[in-house]
Structures are given as C-alpha cells and as structure tokens.
Amino acid sequence: MSDPQVVVHRDGDLLAAAAAARLVTRIVDAQAARGVASVVLTGGRTGTAVLEHLNRSAARDAVDWSRVDLFWGDERFLPSGHPDRNETQARAALLDHVPLDPSRVHVMAPSDGEFGDDPEAAAAAYAEVLASLAGPEDDGVPAFDVCMLGVGEEGHVASVFPDSPAVHEKERTVVAVRDCPKPPPTRVSLTLSSVRHAQEVWLMTTGEAKAEAVATALSGADEVELPAAGALGRHRTWWLLDTAASAKVPASFRA
C-alpha cells in the first residue's frame, strides 16, 4: 500500500476543477497503456462537482468514453432515478453527456430493481459483477485505476462508518449497510478491502468540520475507529483538500 500524499487547494471549487483535470489525465494515461480505464465514482457535493467540472472542460473529449468502466463506491438503496441516489446525480453531472458504453456502467441495484427491497442481495450481485471483471490475480475485485472517495466528519468513506459491521468485514467485497448513522439508513457499499484494490485512491473533502478527521487519519488512526485511515491505494493515495479541511494536517505532510 502507498503512503498518503496531501494536496491543498484554496477552496472547494478549485479542488473540484483540479481533480477533474487530474482525472482526465489519469484516464487518458490508462487508456494509452492498456486500452481501457476504470474509475470508482463517489457521491456528495465534492464528488458531483468533480463530474460537473469535467463535463464543462474542453479536455473531456480527450477521453474515449466508450472504453471507460465506471463503478460506485457506495449507493443509497433507493428507487431508480431517486434524486438522492449517487447514480442519478452522476448521470446529471456527466454520464448523460458523454458517449459511454452502457455495458461498462456498473450501477448498484436500486430498491425497486430486480432484487426488490433486499440490500443484501444487491450487495451480493455487485460483488459478482466485480468478480466477473477482475483478473486472475485480483482476488475478486478489479484493479481500479482511480477510486474517488469523500470523507465524512467522523471519518467514514463510501458507506463504511466507524466501528460498524462494514469496517469489520474481512471476507466480502461488497456489503449491505443497515441503520446507517446518516440518512438514508440503508445502503450498499464497497468494503475497505475492495477500495485497496485501486491503483490510486483519492480522498476528497472540504470544510473546517472535516479538519479533525483528516488530521487523525493522516496521523495513523486505526481504520476501525476512522475508516478513512484504511482507504489506501496500491500505488498512490491522494488527500485532495481545501484550505479549511487541511487546517490540522500534521506538519510532516506540509511542504
């Protein structure tokens, strides 16, 4: 696993714009090397803003979108098209505006989908999708080029919350999350072990309220108490922060 690296931007909008530019470069490089690229999307204000900036960027069309595999780190277990679903927000921000191959857009099942109101079945099905796309050496999860994650005030990533069943999970790659401390209470999420299959993990967060969690994660916290500390990429782990979120970053990470 890689050691975390910190990049600080003046504000959240600049962070999102810079991350969008970084993402284009990473996708284009992956496609040049292997023909395809794979990205794990995140929801939330910053994750959606990154996609909006990418959609407005002239560099958007440098990507061959028909050769991009898209996944989600987590999803709110709500009906298809619900405005709070990460998929719905991502489609409005970018996905509906670029020529994706629908077979490469790997969504987590909604609560009115083929598995009905059964998040465990939806999680198991998503695990099967990941396994079907993983290489023989990948242990059931593709080696994503980029996994983007937001970070909550208490240090959660995806829908893996402190001292929750999801953060203790060691075997499954995707889990149902019930009684989530943030609404909606039911979700589907990658586990930390799945996140750690990514070549690069980008933890993106803004605001003074996140500063303590950021600093604690970078100081070597236990992932059970602060899941963001366990979100590491194989080759790179980027913490992309605004000035406020970086206020308590340990001195060793400051230039």
HSE (CB half, 13 Å, CA atoms) of 248? Answer: 14
Tens digit of each residue's pLDDT, the chain (255 residues)? 889 999 999 999 999 999 999 999 999 999 999 999 999 999 999 999 999 999 999 999 999 999 999 999 999 999 999 999 999 999 999 999 999 999 999 999 999 999 999 999 999 999 999 999 999 888 999 999 999 999 999 999 999 999 999 999 999 999 999 999 999 999 999 999 999 999 999 999 999 999 999 999 999 999 999 999 999 999 999 999 999 999 999 988 875
Chain centroid to Cα 119, Å, comes to 19
Q: Return the SS3 of 92.
A: helix
What's the rounded Cα separation, in Å, for the pair 243 and 123? 36
**C-alpha dist (Å) from residue 71 to 2, 61, 102, 132, 162:** 22, 20, 12, 13, 23
Contact, 24 vs 94, CB < 8 A?
A: no
Scanning the structure block, which residue is given the tokens 């489609």?
91
In one-letter notation, the amino acid at residue 193 is: S
Going from the N-terminus, what domains does the chain have, and what CATH number goes with each?
A: 4-236 (3.40.50.1360)
